[in-house]
Amino acid sequence: MAQQIADRRDIDFVLHEQFEVEKLSAHDKFAEFNRKTIDLVIGEARQLAIKEILPTQSIGDTQGVQLEKGAVTTPPEFKQAYARYVEGEWLAMTEDPEWGGQGMPLTVSLAASDYFNGANFALMMYPGLTHGAGKLVETFGTAQQKAMFLKKMYSGEWAGTMLLTEPEAGSDVGALTTTAVKNADGTYSISGNKIFISGGDHDLVENIIHPVLARIEGAPEGTKGISLFLVPKIWVNEDGSLGEPNDVVCTGIEEKMGIHANATCSMALGSKGNCRGLLLGEENKGMRAMFLMMNAARLLVGLQGFCCASASYINALNYARQRVQGKSLLQMFDKTAPAVPIIQHPDVRRMLLQMKVYVEGMRSLLYYAGYCEDQKGLATDEADKAKWQGIIDVLIPICKGYITDRSFEVCSTGMQVYGGYGYIKEYPQEQLLRDCRITLIYEGTNGIQAMDLLGRKLGLNKGRAIMDLFGEIQKTIAAAKAVEATAALAENAEAVTNKLGEVAMHMGSTAMSDKVLNAFAHAHPFLEVCGDVAMAWQLLWRAVTAAGKLEKAKKKDVAFYEGQLKSAEYFINAILPVTLGKMNAILNNNGAAVEIAEEAFGAK
């Protein structure tokens, strides 16, 4: 059975029918991206993903990466797939053509990345990290730094990473101990150790540019004293030519549960006293630079988790259609009745429908975050830009935290549909489950995402950001009320959305009271209910769109559009009532989690 990665019909529906992205081409910035061009882009991405990248997925999982004599090697098959990817100029799809980008709408690039990450996200982490590091150079670099690094990074000739985490600091970045001492020539001598560095070393490129967080001697303690530096694996001369190897080496690679083909490295900087770096941006402003880049990184992680879920769902669906086992429940007492495909069994259909609604809703929500970024980029009014940025800021912890939580559940269900076969390596389901698990952890654990939503995003712009998001949700609800097929669903969705407003007010006031610990003990459940409402919104939007298409739909599209209505019906009527229960639990504000004595947890 051929492994699948993404549903082209659904991608086209989101792009062209739900969001009508071709309308972006009415603006000069995206003038060349009409529907024909967009379809060509997605088609080329799909072909590359299936033909070149997907075959490397199981190979990478089986072979992993190797560290020998200080050098990290990837599976040989990765080099051709990576070469084809960079030849197609896919690394910098959304960036300025001046620096080698394609100037593509983010919404469209997410659809292309849907295929790439679904094919092998462990491999796609290498160019993904490079893009993030390049964006730092583009945003904060001097003209000379851009000339030295940017085109070679955006072209994929050189790679990039992010050296942030340290053994004792973990997620508490302010506790880092890596130091920087200014030299007479304006460079800095860097000394320290970093861990869990994705893509920290590999053989896909000739040079790797490491953005490194470090503290300059005498700088303030905590995050206020952190600066950002560019530390090349091989020193880059001012004319762009390569010099001597820098004193930055991989000292070990982690043996992980999943993403075996991405090198997760321990890195030593300056162990011989010869590590040099260039200041990127201003002194003591390194964390500010990182936070500006965090939205894109967390959106990518949400996409990674989602792509595992999307592939798992398609695999499970195809397997259920072909796997024959057991009689139909309607013929249980007929001894002559034949066995049927398991998709005819009600519990299997329930599992598949639950996977379907989450995959569809998550795809729409991720693409919508990209759509907001495109709208912000086209806005000429500062208030309009602020509105779109605020919505993005509120959505990011949901896109990263909620989506990866649900994606892992979808992958687990995908394994369940296969039964015992899902648990063995003959089929891809177990790898997708293992690979997906990291997305709940890195770029800020999902507990951190929940705290970010409660502690920073709920009151952002004096609450205006979340109110703007509620305003967009209400627009969809109003449109759905006007359509007979979705009116009842809209009423139910509106009731739960209004309840969320009550819960948000409660959480905000509790977080500002002497019960602040109680509030943060409920931060993750709050993230979950916000995500559920966001899913209901997107699925209702999809249903309204589909209802408008049904009357004139071609025969081949009828089942798809009807399926959109059923997805919204199932989520709003079967899942949102559970969401209401979670909301009531949050409003109850039980303090057991923070009141229980440490000793009561038991074993020491």
CA separation for the pair 363, 308 (Å, rounded): 12
Q: Give helix 403-418 / helix 346-378 axis angle, nearest 10°.
A: 150
Tell me, what amino acid is at 187? T
Beta bridge pairs of residue 324:
341
CA separation for the pair 153, 207 (Å, rounded): 9
Number of Cβ within 10 Å of residue 404's Cβ equals 31
Number of Cβ within 10 Å of residue 339's Cβ equals 12
CA separation for the pair 378, 374 (Å, rounded): 6
Tell me, what amino acid is at 595? E
CA separation for the pair 124, 121 (Å, rounded): 5
Q: Which of 28, 14, 10 is nearest to 369 (CA)?
A: 14
Query: Is 443 assigned a catalytic role?
Result: yes
Q: Which of 232, 90, 91 is nearest to 148 (CA)?
A: 232
- 138, 360, 443, 569: the active-site residue: 443
Beta bridge pairs of residue 66:
73
Structure tokens given for 243: 């010099």
* 226-261 residues labelled b (16+ CB within 10 A) or e (exposed): bbbbbbbbebbeeeeeeeeebbbbbbebbebebbbb
* Cα end-to-end span (Å), the chain: 49
Structure tokens given for 485: 């097929």
Collect all residues with Cβ–Cβ distance below 8 Å to 413 and sequence separation of at least 6: 312, 316, 351, 354, 355
Q: How many CA atoms lie within 13 A of 79 on its CB side?
A: 9
CA separation for the pair 38, 149 (Å, rounded): 29
Q: Which residues are catalytic?
A: 443
